[in-house]
Amino acid sequence: MRTRIVGTGSYLPARIVPNSELAPTVDSSDEWIVERTGIRQRHIAADGEFTSDLATAAAKRALASAGVAAGDISLIVVATATPDQTFPSVATVVQMKLGIIDCVAFDVAAVCSGFLYALTVADSLMRTGGHRRALVIGAETFSRILDWEDRTTCVLFGDGAGAVVLEAEQSNGLSSDRGILATRLHADGRYNELLYVDGGPGSTGTTGKLRMKGKEVFRHAVTNLAAVMHETLEAAGLTAADVTWVVPHQANLRILEATARKLDLAPEQVIVTVQQHANTSAASVPLALDAAVADGRIKAGDLLLLEAMGGGFTWGAAAVRW
């Protein structure tokens, strides 16, 4: 069995906040933000608009693009670090909003690598657990956990959601066959303190705010991502020369460029949305994927390399034949 991505969808909140609006409030500038990160704007959820709303909107679009009815979904995995409530999971709220009567639904917490973790878990469950069709969603409202007075973090993130519909099918097991060819995940909890939220239901009883030592995260990101991309390609029996597109987590344009260079890939092979979306954590990979599918860049037969790294640290990659 192999799982194939048969539909993609995304959703961004209506409100766009350009650097020019945000920068003066925190003694920053459009020039600094663009030069250091590539970010020009971010979308911010409206009051009363929750992660589950973004996730459901993206899921509906993914289902429509796949031509799959919500009732045919038996598994929903949502990657998020910003659930509406501590529990229930966003996945069960999405299930309810989509009107699905019975399915398996749960959230995965791996922050910015959440979508790679969720995709890997769903892929495994589908190949071994008999699920035929699944929704894998990355959805975040990081605006709710930002310290809007901390210029070293608040300019970097935005809200959004991306979703894919997975379908399990028989395959010959060749790397030329369509579908998820290989995934690889990692975590190293020794680095928790470089990127974390300073609160939580079991510690402070508050939600807390995001804290990051950006420079150190940057350094680890390039090294870890290049390594896991090589490892994933090797697991699929492929090399960097086979890659058509890199669909990366969108944290910083400089990270995307440095990582591509390490694999001898051209900058034009990297799908970049960080300028418009900023860092949307678990949503950024499926948002970038949907953008490049929608504008026709990604075509049948292309080899995609999805990758992400985030808090924990956690990181991972997936090789996907489109």
So which residues are the catalytic ones? 112, 249, 279
Whole-angstrom CA distances from 192 to 110, 146, 154, 213 are 12, 17, 19, 11
* Chain residues 4-43 in contact with ligand UT7, contact rule CB under 6 A: 28, 32-33, 36-37
Residue 257 C-beta-side C-alpha neighbours within 13 Å:
7
Shortest distance (Å) from residue 221 CB to ligand UT7: 5
Shortest distance (Å) from residue 96 CB to ligand UT7: 29
The answer for 79, left when phi > 0, alpha when psi is -120 to 50, beta otherwise, is: beta
Strands (E), the chain: 2-11, 15-18, 41-44, 75-79, 104-108, 133-141, 159-169, 179-187, 195-197, 210-212, 245-248, 303-310, 314-321
For residue 106, the tally of other CB atoms under 10 A from its CB is 15
Q: Which residues are paired to 105 by β-bridges?
A: 76
> How far, in Å, CA of 153 to CA of 237, rounded?
39
Task: Output the six-digit token pair for 265.
Answer: 């890939």
> How far, in Å, CA of 58 to CA of 65, rounded?
11
Q: Based on CB atoms, which residue is closest to ligand UT7, 78 or 155?
A: 155
Whole-angstrom CA distances from 238 to 230, 243, 244, 316, 318 are 9, 8, 12, 17, 12
Q: Based on CB atoms, which residue is closest to ligand UT7, 193 or 234?
A: 193
Shortest distance (Å) from residue 277 CB to ligand UT7: 12
Query: Which residue is nearest to ligand UT7, using beta carbons?
Result: 214
Per-residue string for binding with ligand UT7, 229-268, x by CB under 6 A? Answer: ----------------------xx--x-------------
Candidates 12, 62, 90, 112: give the one binding ligand UT7 (CB under 6 A): 112
Q: Based on CB atoms, which residue is closest to ligand UT7, 109 or 294?
A: 109
Q: Is residue 222 near ligand UT7 by the rule CB under 6 A?
A: no
**CB of 139 closer than 8 Å to CB of 10:** no
Candidates 215, 266, 268, 295: give the one binding ligand UT7 (CB under 6 A): 215
Shortest distance (Å) from residue 66 CB to ligand UT7: 28
How many residues bind ligand UT7 (CB under 6 A)? The answer is 21
Shortest distance (Å) from residue 28 CB to ligand UT7: 3
Q: What is the contact surface with ligand UT7 in residues (CB under 6 A)? A: 28, 32-33, 36-37, 112, 151-152, 155-156, 214-215, 217-218, 221, 251-252, 255, 279, 309-310
